[in-house]
Structure 1
Amino acid sequence: MPRFLHTADWQMGRAFSRFETEDGAALVEARFEAIEKLARLANEHRCDAILVAGDVFDAQTVADRTIRRVFNATRGFTGPWVMLPGNHDAALAESVWTRARRLGAVPDNIHLALEPGTINLEPQGLAILCAPLTQRNTYSDLTATFNSCETPEGLVRIGLAHGSVQGLLPDEIDSTNPILPNRAETARLDYFALGDWHGTKQIDERTWYSGTPEPERFRNNGAGYALIINLSGPGELPAVTPVETARYQWHQWRQTLTVESDLDQLLERLQALPEPSVLDLRLDGSVTLAGEERLINALSVAEARFRSIQCDRSGLQLEPTDDDIAALKADGYVGEVIEHLRTQQQNDDAEAARDALAVLAGLLKERKQEISE
């Protein structure tokens, strides 16, 4: 009974420049660790092969060191790997793949599907019909050749492709590199392994996107998995088991603070997040000076706990209560400045006014503490 692991969209060489240097380096390293984990999973599940449905590399120009590290990371699984070029690493006449071969980096157990055709893994019972991208974008369905492709009797027919299943994915990617929705049926495939959509997604009972094994963007689309496929024989339906591979969880929150309970709920959510989290947080609405202090303290704690937290507070206004103002003991000219800054938050320079108000409140609080001591 053939059993294999389906993965895709590793995007090796991707840079995470929007993050702090330390965090970006950790996110890069997690992608190499994901390959090593795929190898371990294949061994644990006694897989016959690992199929990679495109975009192993994020670009043709990745460093030689990245190429070598990618293939080094596969060493944990000594069975066959089949790697298909996708749109980011298309099989051009001169490509990341030809460079990998010149470097002597490709192990003997890795099959590079650089040309359309079939890779027969007879000892494993697999016939893999490959539709590699030989340019970044194509407007014809490269998997159409699967219909007329003959495979040895007794081997299960596996399609391996990278592209957009037409009519079933979001419109923004439903354009180039098209794939017929019922290709598994027309080509008599026992299983159709797809890449390009970065989340795990079932198209029909024989057709799946595995998604990327390590999330790299803020989309709640089921990223961070690989698929273990069991086939009892030709013509039988596959048994598909998603297995978690992600080290980091990516979250994107957009929250409006209006009343104190909104802040309470936000801080409870922060506390509940696991440590290997990457959080993009954007806040708007308003918060009191006391609430601002609680928020800043919570964000400081979160920065030390999580892999990364980025918080945009440009849309959040400071709305000091009468108790806030009274506690600051700001009278005379300072009191007038505070009222002016509160008003300015309604104008174009709202963010600067809010920050100035926060700084002034902090200075007044520090002075109050010094006097009391």
Structure 2
Amino acid sequence: MPKFLHTADWQMGRTYSRFDTEDGAALVEARYEAIERLAALATEHQCDAVLVAGDVFDAQTVSDRTIRRVFNATRGFDGPWVMLPGNHDAALAESVWTRAKRLDAVPKNVYLALESGVTPLPEQGIAVLSAPLTQRHTYGDLTQPFDDMETPPELLRIGLAHGSVQGLLPEDIDSTNPIAPDRTETAKLDYLGLGDWHGVREINARTWYSGTPEPERFRNNDAGYVLIVDIKEPGATPKVTRHETARYQWHQWRESLSVPSDLDELLHRISQLPEASVLDLKLAGTLTLAGDQKLTEALSIAEARYRAVTCDRTRLQLEPTDDDISALLADGYLGEVVQELRESQQAVDKGSDAEVARDALAILASLLKPKDAEVAQ
């Protein structure tokens, strides 16, 4: 019974400049660890091969070190690997793949499917029909030649491609690199392993996207898995099981705050996240000064607990209550300043001035709070 692991969209060499240097480095390292985990999975489940459906690398210009590290990470599985160029690492005349060959970085058990054709793996009972991208964007279906490719009858016909299945993915998905939804039927494929969609997605019983093994963005599309595929014999229906490989979970929340309970609920949800989380918050609405200080403290704790936390407060307006003002002891001139900042936030012609006013209110509150605490003592 041939069994293989299907993965794609490793995007090695990807950087995370939006995060702090420490967090970005950890997210990069997690991608190498993901390759090591899937290699271990392939060995543990006694897979016959690992098939990578494109975008092994994030760009043609990745460093030599990245190239070497990627192939080093595959050492945990001694069986054959078949790697397909995708739109990020297309098989150009001069590409990341030709550099890998010059570096002598490609292990003997790794097959680079740089041309359309068949990679026979007779010992594994598999014939891999490959449709590599030789440029970033194409407008013809590169899997069409599968219909005419001949393979030994005793071997499974496994297609490997990178692109968009037409008519079945969301409308905002890139329309280039099209793939016919009935390719498994026309080409008599036992299975078609796809890359480009970064989450697990079943197109039909024989056609699957594996998604990326380590999430790298906030899209909620079931990323962080690989697929192990069992097919008893040519013509049999595949048994597809997914296995989690993600180190980090990515969460993107868009929240509107209007009453104190909204903030309490948000902070409770933040506290319940697993430690291996990447959190991106964008907040809107209104918040009291006391609530803003509570939020700031909670985010400071979260930043130390989780992998990465970012928070955009540009649409969050501070509305000090009478209790806020009283707690600040903002009498006289300070009271006038607070009132002026409140009015600046509420100006009809909002812009950078409103943001400055909001930030100034928050800073003023933080500076005056210790003084208030000393008086209370």
Contact 1:165 1:174 in 2 (8 A): no
Describe the SS at the equivalent of 1:281. Answer: strand
Q: Write the mapping of 1:20-169 to structure 2, written as runs, cut at 5 A.
A: 20-169=20-169
Q: 1:366 aligns with which of 351, 370, 376?
A: 370
Aligned-partner Cα distance in 1 for 2:81–2:41: 13
Aligned-partner Cα distance in 1 for 2:258–2:235: 58
Contact 1:166 1:174 in 2 (8 A): no
Aligned-partner Cα distance in 2 for 1:372–1:296: 22
Aligned-partner Cα distance in 2 for 1:364–1:10: 49
Q: Write the mapping of 1:1-373 to structure 2, written as runs, cut at 5 A.
A: 1-347=1-347, 348=350, 349-373=353-377
Amino acid at match of 2:199: G
Deviation at 1:173? 2.6
Aligned-partner Cα distance in 1 for 2:367–2:121: 72
The number of aligned residues is 373
Aligned-partner Cα distance in 1 for 2:62–2:330: 58
Amino acid at match of 2:103: L
Once the two structures are superposed, residues 7-27 of structure 1 have per-residue CA deviations (whole angstroms, 9 ceiling, x without a partner) of 000010111111110111111
Amino acid at match of 1:237: T
Contact 2:4 2:229 in 1 (8 A): yes
Aligned-partner Cα distance in 1 for 2:224–2:78: 23
Deviation at 1:369? 2.6
Describe the SS at the equivalent of 2:172. Answer: helix
Once the two structures are superposed, residues 334-357 of structure 1 have per-residue CA deviations (whole angstroms, 9 ceiling, x without a partner) of 112111111111122211111111
Percent of residue pairs bearing the same amino acid type: 71
Aligned-partner Cα distance in 2 for 1:333–1:65: 60
Please say which of residues 326-335 and 77-86 is displaced more in the overlay.
326-335
Contact 1:160 1:192 in 2 (8 A): yes
- Give 5+ residue unaligned stretches, structure 2: none
Once the two structures are superposed, residues 222-272 of structure 1 have per-residue CA deviations (whole angstroms, 9 ceiling, x without a partner) of 110000000011001000001101000011000001001100110010001
Amino acid at match of 1:306: Y
Contact 1:167 1:174 in 2 (8 A): no
Aligned-partner Cα distance in 1 for 2:53–2:363: 53
RMSD value, Cα: 1.0
Aligned-partner Cα distance in 1 for 2:366–2:133: 58
Deviation at 1:172? 2.9
Please say which of residues 323-332 and 304-313 is displaced more in the overlay.
323-332
Amino acid at match of 1:191: Y
Aligned-partner Cα distance in 2 for 1:75–1:327: 62
Contact 2:293 2:366 in 1 (8 A): no
Rate the CA distance shift 1:175–1:204 in 2: closer, same or farther, 3 A: same
Contact 1:16 1:24 in 2 (8 A): yes
Deviation at 1:372? 4.3
Contact 1:7 1:227 in 2 (8 A): yes
Aligned-partner Cα distance in 2 for 1:59–1:362: 45
Describe the SS at the equivalent of 2:247. Answer: coil
Aligned-partner Cα distance in 2 for 1:44–1:160: 23
Describe the SS at the equivalent of 2:143. Answer: helix
Describe the SS at the equivalent of 1:129. Answer: strand
Contact 1:286 1:317 in 2 (8 A): yes
Amino acid at match of 1:152: P
Deviation at 1:60? 0.8
**Which aligned segments of 4 or more residues in structure 1 are displaced greater than 4 angstroms?**
none
TM-score by length of 1: 0.98
